[in-house]
Chain A
Amino acid sequence: MTSLRPPAHRVHPRARLMWQLAAGTEVLVLAVVLVATGVVADLYDLRWWMPVLLAAYAVVRVVVVPTWRFRVHRWEVTPQAAYTQTGWWARERRLAPMSRIQTVDWDQGPLERLLGLANVTITTASAAGALSIGGLDQATAETLVAELTAKAEAAGGDAT
């Protein structure tokens, strides 16, 4: 075996929708700025390549990246460890033992609340070692927090 197997579970499919919505908003703002400065205020000549460039950017941000990201983002909790995989172009897998877990955080942004999703963040004594699982179903996230807290406590250790 020459490579690390990916974590077992995918995040919730609605996470992809959330990433698309966030990226869509960003693209929309850019489009509004382009129209406002180029057409309404007429600050410069609107060339044909400007909207084309924006459209290409929109395709990448709204279609390609969220799909790619959804294929990468995974998580797993084993009896003694937490294991996550995030990213898209640059992929990052993080592994931390239960005995070193310091805090388990649960949080939800406005967009996530709308879609019934939540994030779970696991911190260790290393500032470089936090594991973050974004885009979980709200109920799954709550169960996960309870499970991690219980396991971390059972694993003991001073978490340093």
Chain B
Amino acid sequence: MSDWQRLDPRMLVVEPVSELRRFLPVLLGALLAGGFARGGGLGWELLAVAVPVAIGVARYLTTRYRILDGRVELRRGLLQRTLRTAQLDRVRTVDVTASLVHRVLGLATVRIGTGAGAEQDLELDGLRAPQAQELREALLARVAHEAHAPDDADAAAPPAAPTERPVLRLDPGWARYAPFTSAGVVAAAALLGVASQALPDSAWRLDRLPDLAPAGWGWLLLAAVGVLAAAVSSAVLAVLGYLVAHWDLTLTRTPTQWRLTRGLLTTRETSVEDARLAGVVVREPLGLRLAGAAELGAVVTGLGQGEKGTLTLVPPAPRAVVDGVAGAVLGDDRPTDAPLTAPLRTHGPAAVRRRRLRALAPAVVLVALVTASVGADLLTPWSLVLALLVLPAAIALGEDRARSLGHLASEGFLVSRSGSLARHREVLGAEHVIGWTVRDTWFQRRSGLVTLEATTAGGSQRVQVLDVPEHDGLVLAAALTPDLLAEVGYRTPPSQ
């Protein structure tokens, strides 16, 4: 494969179709305008179709790629030409995606990531599906080979026979957890918003509830039915969304990589090399926690920053399933569950007080403001009752957040847990800890607490240990990176 090659000719169908979709607003505009200008012929409509089609065809004709001298090159563009190059030894991730149109035509998109951010990715849009798989295998075999024999001493030794072992297959029944995620809540909130617009004002004026009875019971019933309908439909939407995104999700262990495939309409296949897998995040938002479920993300270096740095390995599923997969991922070939299930070190009374205070303070301020407003006759007394309801919620939130706090150094992993509504347990391999940030405000210094952060190249770029007593934080850091802490004169004191 050393000569410039075109993408698959079937892209001549895909490109114009996607261009047409992009031009849809213009197209509709042209159709409407055409409707007004009767007798003007079909000129504008034809142009509006012909231009996108021409652009699509031109894109196909001007795009070529080749694989040569240890690099992949992609050349494209008619007026503004670009040449994008990826060194094969810098390739970190290879994704194979196929949208519905691609799948019908037997095509796939290969996305080659070099860890320099999503904009720098090299995308070969439109190879035949088997060819895409072949390319993926070839690229990743090379990555694995480089990783295992960096000094080319035994370059001749072929990689071990590929043995693939499925670690997880999605059970469609797990979609029952989808309504408990924030996606379900967001959908419900959106629907409630729509409902509030549709219903008459009187149904929402809580301050006038006494006036409504008995004449207004009808409206109240209607409101209740509306809320119920919103809840049910958001649950259904969440379940459908879950199934479309994660259908047939399979996590496979190959000798050097983890491979994840999923998707109902658009299929996605992502491979992550062992060395790039820095850790995992077990997410247990309140809803999922109450339902006995959790979600698992992998912290991957070179996936780009922010949200994209974590790859969802297990969508909402029973807690035991999540723990099992997390253990397999962390332990490579000998599963370990200590970082996931071992009891965490708590952060002590000062941290608990701080969590309580920080949850309660805004609620108290709110109640004070509402009380003042009621006193000044700006709000009806009903609103004070509502505001007072916030207090127990804030207390419960503070307690739960205090209970969540914990950390651990276990089997070479940093483990940290925090949060309530969005509780998460982060596990990061010690070798992926780049450095440390110790942050303390004046208030924290007074109670002897610090916020310790391990910086890393994957996921959200840091793992935070919130409000830990400074001594405990340093013991934790020294347990994971003893040499680094020794540089600034800190050595773990002999254990008591």
Give A residues with C-beta under 8 Å from B: 1-5, 7, 76, 78-81, 83, 89-97, 100, 124-129, 131, 160
Contact = CB atoms under 8 A, between A and B. Distances in A.
A62 B490 CA distance: 36
A1 to B, nearest CB: 7
A125 B474 contact: no
A126 B442 CA distance: 27
Nearest to B470: A3
A94 B484 CA distance: 12
Given A95-B436, A126-B456, A129-B434, 7 more contacts: A90-B440, A94-B437, A100-B434, A127-B461, A128-B455, A129-B461, A129-B462
B171 interface: no
A91 B439 contact: yes
B471 A80 contact: no
Interface in B422-475: 434-442, 445, 453, 455-457, 460-462, 470-471, 474
A89 B487 contact: no
Given A4-B474, A126-B457, A80 B438 contact: no
A94 B488 CA distance: 11
Contacts of A160: 301, 457
Contacts of A89: 441-442
B437 A93 contact: yes
Contacts of A81: 484, 487-488
A88 B445 CA distance: 12
B441 A90 contact: yes
6 contacts: A3-B474, A4-B438, A4-B474, A91-B441, A126-B456, A126-B462
Main secondary structure of the interface of A (DSSP, over half): loop
Interface of B: 301, 305, 434-442, 445, 453, 455-457, 460-462, 470-471, 474, 481, 483-485, 487-491, 493
Contact of B490 (A1, A128, A131): A1
A125 B276 CA distance: 13
Given A125-B301, A126-B455, A80 B461 contact: no
A91 B439 CA distance: 6
Given A93-B437, A100-B435, A78 B461 contact: no
A76 B488 CA distance: 9
A151 B96 CA distance: 41
A121 to B, nearest CB: 14
Interface on chain B toward A: helix, strand, loop, or mixed SS? mixed
A129 B435 contact: yes
Most buried by A among B438, B455, B470: B455
A92 B434 contact: no
A91 B462 contact: no
Nearest to B489: A5
B455 A124 contact: yes
Nearest to A6: B488
A92 B438 contact: yes
B208 to A, nearest CB: 40
A4 B453 contact: no
Given A78-B487, A80-B483, A127-B305, A96 B435 contact: yes
B484 A128 contact: no
Nearest to A79: B487
Contacts of A97: 434-435, 481, 483-484, 487
A83 B487 contact: yes
Most buried by B among A4, A94, A131: A4
B141 to A, nearest CB: 21
A85 B462 CA distance: 18
A91 B437 contact: no
A2 B490 contact: no
Contacts of B437: 92-95, 128-129
Given A1-B493, A2-B470, A126-B457, A95 B484 contact: yes
A18 B490 CA distance: 33
Contacts of B305: 127
Contact of B438 (A1, A2, A93, A126): A93
Contacts of A96: 434-435, 455
A21 B460 CA distance: 36
Contacts of B441: 89-91
A80 B442 CA distance: 30
A133 to B, nearest CB: 15
